[in-house]
Amino acid sequence: MTEGETRVTVVGAGIVGLCCAFHLLRSGYRVTLIDRDPQGDRTSHGNAGAVAVAEILPMPAPGIARKIPGFLFDPLGPLSIRLRYLPWLWPYLRRFLAAANPADYKAGTAAMAALLSTAMDDHEALLQTIGMSSLLNRTSGLFVYRSEAGRAAEDAGWALRRELGLDAEPLDRKAIEALEPALGPEAQCGYLTQDWAHYGDPKALCDGLLDYLRRHGVEIVTGEIVRLDGVGLLTADGQHREFDRLVVAAGAWSHRLSAQFGDPLPLETERGYNTTLPNPGVSVNHMTTFAEDQFVMTPMDMGLRIGGAVEFAGLNAPPNYNRSKALLKLAERYLPSLNTQGGAEWMGNRPSTPDSLPVIDRSVRHPNVYYAFGHGHLGLTGSATTGRIIAELVQGRDPGLDLMPFRVSRFN
Ligand SMILES: Cc1cc2nc3c(=O)[nH]c(=O)nc-3n(C[C@H](O)[C@H](O)[C@H](O)COP(=O)(O)OP(=O)(O)OC[C@H]3O[C@@H](n4cnc5c(N)ncnc54)[C@H](O)[C@@H]3O)c2cc1C
């Protein structure tokens, strides 16, 4: 069967599914993209917009278990767990804690560095093809700390980044003031990395890609998939569709589909929050990470977006926008002139694996089924690369990267 005769269905019109559909189309396949709401305001639309190539350190860091109780009791802290959800979270949490050892941490960091080493080029190439290069701001990424002690606590992570070839220039208070005059004295020192860029509007990228796919013959289908087997799928409204190859890129819901192919895994949603301030009253040039308080701000086309936080509460609990408000309070400490009025609050579901590495693989039992999900905090960053790799796997080509760290069976 030639590429042109092979029907590939991609499940999920988030940024990862869109990039998979894009690369499969470019490789000559007949592509169908299916989502319960292809235009909907999903995680890929409202995130912080970073192509964060330097952000390669896995979440389960050695010593994190000692920090978790402190985070949980801090109302402005970066992590919250709804107690009622704990029994469901446990399969993920126990693997997360098991992964928080020096050897796994180092191996995970190296795997992410290898995966993301082409991320910037993959974004640039994709943007050029769809004629939307201006969406990406190639400014560097700024990390700030409240004190030298706070920065020193993360020195090992920065050294590891440097070892893996990533850029990191140390900054003192004076240098920060020169780069970002809006940052008050709370930002004492930091790093600047060139391995960073950000989108002015991640939704514009999703909309642009969807439009490109539609114009180039990809069939866009609205439907919620409820059942799957190796040759076909069934949607909630009764559509039955057949495929030759299937790509599961359904974000935080992907495990519900992979389980139907005999590939269960403890995927979780790390819910994250932000507020976009249309009139922030400050001018900001760089996407900035407030490292000790674990939140970020991004100068977006529509305002200043301030967000972050990790909340474990499952896929169905209503959002708790007190998390967004807590992040604004933290931001006011760093930006004395910040105007927090009139902001738009948002929540998204990061598809998260216990070791922070995505799943990029084929099904163990169904070799015509491929997986592209679990990118956690880095789904936008890794999307263009993952899409390229999936198209190469479907073609039977060697992607030139060791995919063992990303296999679906690693949690069994
Ligand atoms: C606050 C916050 C800030 C973030 N900032 C960044 C950042 O700066 N940089 C970065 O790289 N990443 C960031 N992320 C992470 C990033 O947004 C996600 O990793 C990424 O959007 C995930 O994309 P996805 O395509 O895998 O999933 P999604 O965008 O969730 O898309 C999955 C799609 O699958 C569909 N779907 C699911 N199940 C079914 C089904 N059964 N049938 C049909 N359709 C289905 C859904 O409707 C959805 O449209 C952030 C996340 C949050 C929450």
Judge if 99 and 181 occupy the same domain: yes
pLDDT per residue as tens, the chain (412 positions): 787 889 999 999 999 999 999 999 999 999 999 999 988 778 999 999 999 999 999 999 999 888 888 777 776 678 888 888 989 999 999 999 999 999 999 999 999 999 999 999 999 999 999 999 999 999 999 999 999 999 999 999 999 999 999 999 999 999 999 999 999 999 999 999 999 999 999 999 999 999 999 999 999 999 999 999 888 999 999 999 999 999 999 999 999 999 999 999 999 999 999 999 999 999 999 999 999 999 999 999 999 999 999 999 999 999 999 999 999 999 999 999 999 999 999 999 999 999 999 999 999 899 999 999 999 999 999 999 999 999 999 999 999 999 999 999 999 8
Query: Cα separation of 350 and 318, whole Å?
Result: 15
CA of 191 to the centre of ligand 1 (A): 28
Judge if 257 and 374 occupy the same domain: yes
We report the CATH number of the domain holding residue 115 as 3.30.9.10
Query: Cα separation of 248 and 21, whole Å?
Result: 11
**Measured from the CB, is residue 141 less than 6 Å from ligand 1?**
no
Atom number of ligand 1 nearest to Cα 15:
25
**Measured from the CB, is residue 11 less than 6 Å from ligand 1?**
yes
Structural domain boundaries, residue 22: 3-45+203-264+356-411
**Measured from the CB, is residue 15 less than 6 Å from ligand 1?**
yes
The position carrying tokens 């900001």 is 284
CA of 20 to the centre of ligand 1 (A): 14
**Measured from the CB, is residue 37 less than 6 Å from ligand 1?**
yes
End-to-end CA distance of the chain: 34
CA of 77 to the centre of ligand 1 (A): 23
Q: CB count, 10 Å around CB of 187?
A: 24
Judge if 240 and 374 occupy the same domain: yes
Q: CB count, 10 Å around CB of 6?
A: 19
Judge if 77 and 168 occupy the same domain: yes
How many domains, in total, are found in the chain? 2
Query: Cα separation of 383 and 361, whole Å?
Result: 14
Judge if 166 and 306 occupy the same domain: yes
Helix and strand totals (H; E) in the chain: 13, 21
Atom number of ligand 1 nearest to Cα 273:
1
**Measured from the CB, is residue 202 less than 6 Å from ligand 1?**
no
